[in-house]
Amino acid sequence: MMPDLGRYAEAVLSSYAVSLVLLVLLAAISIRRARRVKRELDAYETRLRRDRG
């Protein structure tokens, strides 16, 4: 199933591994930031409602 990469196998496979790790990190950072921003917006909306009412 896997093609014969010859003498470049180490370089190609390590490049795939680094790319995969970076994609996972980027996704994790994005999800973490989105959760933080949502919490901050919810807190802001709560303060805004409390100040008006």
SS (H, E, C) the chain: CCCCCHHHHHHHHHHHHHHHHHHHHHHHHHHHHHHHHHHHHHHHHHHHHHHHC
Q: What is the pTM of this model?
A: 0.74
In 3D space, the residue among 4, 10, 6, 51 whose CA is nearest the CA of residue 43 turns out to be 51
- Which residue reads 């093609």 in tokens? 3
User: Could you give the CA distance from residue 26 to residue 39 in angstroms, rounded to a whole number?
Assistant: 20
Between 1 and 35, whose confidence is greater? 35
pLDDT grade for 5, boundaries at 50, 70 and 90: confident
Is the pLDDT at 2 greater than 80? The verdict is no
Q: Tens of pLDDT along 21-47?
A: 999 999 999 999 999 999 999 999 999
